[in-house]
Amino acid sequence: MFSRRGFLGTAALVGASAVQGRVQAASIPEAPHMDKVVMQPPLHPVSGPDYRPVVTLNGWSLPFRMNGDWKEFHLVAEPVVREFAEGMKVNLWGYNGQSPGPTIEAVEGDKVRIFVTNRLPEYTTVHWHGMIIPSGMDGVGGLTQPHIQPGKTFVYEFEMRKSGTFMYHPHSDEMVQMAMGMMGMVVVHPRDQNFRPVDRDFVFVMSTYRVDPGTYLPHVNEMTDFNMWTWNARVFPGIDPLAVRLGDKVRVRIGNLSMTNHPIHLHGHSFAVTCTDGGWIPESAQYPETTTDVPVGAVRVFDVLADNPGDWAFHCHKSHHTMNAMGHDVRNLIGVSRKDLAKAVGKLAPDGMAMGSTGMAMGNMEMPAPDNTLPMMTGTGQFGPIEMGGMFTVMKIREDLARDDYRDPGPYQFPKGTVAYEVAAPAAEPARQQRGSPPMKHKM
Ligand SMILES: [Cu+2]
């Protein structure tokens, strides 16, 4: 699952005098390292109160060790190569081998000690977004602590005072470091196991990048014109499906560290937002929704009863966020005569391709693409092209899944007679009802 990183390297870098606080350098826990981009199995607790662990889409939870009554974690901030989907790798900054970093899981009331080693070429810090902690542990470089210089290790110590879903990210050259992918999620389980328990618990963070086709590095000073809309730095069809057992109570925890809001929509069900990064929402204040907007710098958690079997699209509802790298300077040619256009374009650019006169469906179109980018719309389902990219995946609800089985169960076997179907109709214009004639008499 993960490989243990050689601990000696870290110790050599750090040196006893560089370690802040009450712990000695010799006691820094080893830093686990991840080289996979698919969801790792849930990390069940080995000590302390029991809880149902989360699974991180295309990610993992950070293993910890107990030291007395402290839970000790070790994050290593470092350059990483993240595969967004097959065919595209991006040079990012992240933690412990991947971006986003691993999910940190703990229990309400836990005392945690989080070591942060900086292997970036510039200083960094870690801010614990939404968590109620002492000011000096808040990770705002310059304001609450000195920046962590390259090669140095700092330690954050605090108690997990409340349960919920939080995030972590640098507060140090923030614009660059977040645009480079430095972020992760924190899940604090309630100490009371009977508090709103669920059967499956998914978590991911949303981030966006501008990576020009053929290049490998995000534009870190891009403010609005992103072309890679990601969940855990993955885009469709690279995002793990959410495998769910029919009848399960499912929780989905969504963080947003991108620079715009994302209205997240689930098909086939209604859900209620039960938690934000501010805490649990009282039941009396919850209401049914099928889309919930996740603002910038916020967490939304929804609970849903998976009582409707099938393959259910789960995606951002901004349609340009379910696309991969796309040019924006394409004119709307719907309704234009393709023949006339092709003739005109052909004179100017013999290899030109007139597209879009009946819409822009690209499912059957093969175009040469530059290295290291992805088709704008992609993915294939059992009935044909899906034509999506970016922030899109599928919740797959099945009767026959084992309790901790999160593997992709494959395409849904639709019961006979339950799929929309074509009817025999004459090829000519269908008969239309004439409406509105004679004029209606309005009675007020
Ligand atoms: Cu979006």
CA of residue 266 to ligand 1 center, whole Å: 13
The alpha carbon of 255 and the centre of ligand 1 are apart by a number of angstroms equal to: 12
**Coil/strand/helix, residue 386:** strand
For residue 293, how far is its CA from the centre of ligand 1 (angstroms)? 9
Distance 252 CA to ligand 1 centre (A): 16
Token pair 């669920």 in the structure block, residue = 198
Distance 305 CA to ligand 1 centre (A): 24
Q: Is 319 exposed, middle or buried (0-12, 13-18, 19+ CB in 10 A)?
A: exposed
SS (HEC) of 122-162: CCECCEEECCCCCHHHCCCECCCECCECCCCEEEEEEECCC
Taking the centre of ligand 1 as the mean of its atom positions, its distance from the CA of residue 327, in whole angstroms, is 17
Give the DSSP letter of residue 243.
Answer: E
Give 258 Cα–ligand 1 centroid separation in angstroms. Answer: 9
pLDDT attached to residue 19: 37
Q: Measured in angstroms, how far is the CA atom of residue 206 from the centroid of ligand 1? A: 9
Ligand 1 centroid distance, CA of 161 (Å):
32
CA 393–ligand 1 middle distance (angstroms): 13
Please tell me the distance between residue 273's alpha carbon and the centre of ligand 1 in angstroms: 18
CATH of domain 3-184: 2.60.40.420
- pLDDT given for residue 409 in this prediction: 96
Q: Which of 182, 21, 41, 183 is nearest to 112 (CA)?
A: 21
Q: How far is the CA of 145 from the centre of ligand 1 (A)?
A: 34
pLDDT at 47: 79
Distance 296 CA to ligand 1 centre (A): 11
Å from CA of 397 to ligand 1 middle: 24
* CA-angle at 299, arms to 183 and 56, nearest 5°: 55
Cα of 285 from ligand 1 centre, angstroms: 25
What confidence score (pLDDT) does residue 276 get? 98
C-alpha 129 to ligand 1 mean position (Å):
21
Q: What are the residue ranges spanned by the domains of the chain?
A: 3-184
Residue with tokens 């110590």: 157
Q: What is the whole-number distance in angstroms between the Cα of residue 268 and the centre of ligand 1? A: 20
Ligand 1 center–CA 193 separation, angstroms: 33
Distance 291 CA to ligand 1 centre (A): 12
User: Distance, CA 264 to ligand 1 centroid (Å)?
Assistant: 7
Residue 433, pLDDT score: 73
pTM of the model: 0.85
pLDDT for the residue 432: 73
The CA 319 to ligand 1 mean position distance, Å, reads 8
Give dist(CA 426, CA 431) in Å, integer: 10
User: Could you tell me the distance, in angstroms and rounded to a whole number, from the CA of residue 358 to the centre of ligand 1?
Assistant: 26
pLDDT of residue 344: 63
Instruction: Find out whether 107 and 159 touch, Cβ atoms under 8 Å.
Output: no
Q: What is the pLDDT of residue 167?
A: 98
pLDDT of the chain, 444 residues: tens digit per residue: 444 443 333 333 333 333 344 555 458 999 999 999 999 999 999 878 889 999 999 999 999 999 999 999 999 999 999 999 998 999 999 999 999 999 999 999 999 999 999 999 999 999 999 999 999 999 999 999 999 999 999 999 999 999 999 999 999 999 999 999 999 999 999 999 999 999 999 999 999 999 998 899 999 988 888 999 999 999 999 999 999 999 999 999 999 999 999 999 999 999 999 999 999 999 999 999 999 999 999 999 999 999 999 999 999 999 999 988 765 455 555 666 656 656 665 666 555 444 555 565 655 555 566 788 888 777 889 999 898 899 999 999 999 899 889 999 999 999 999 999 999 887 777 677 776 666 556 655
Going from the Cα of 382 to the center of ligand 1, the distance in angstroms, rounded, reads 26
CA of 209 to the centre of ligand 1 (A): 12
The rounded Å distance from CA 168 to ligand 1 centre is: 20
pLDDT given for residue 150 in this prediction: 98
At 302, list the tokens: 């929804």
C-alpha of residue 316 to centroid of ligand 1, in Å: 5
Q: How far is the CA of 410 from the centre of ligand 1 (A)?
A: 26
> In this structure, are strands 3-4 and 164-169 parallel, antiparallel, or unpaired?
unpaired
Span from the CA of 299 to the centroid of ligand 1 (angstroms) = 14
pLDDT of amino acid 104:
98
- The alpha carbon of residue 354 and the mean position of all alpha carbons in its chain are separated, in whole angstroms, by 35
207 alpha carbon to ligand 1 midpoint, in Å?
A: 9
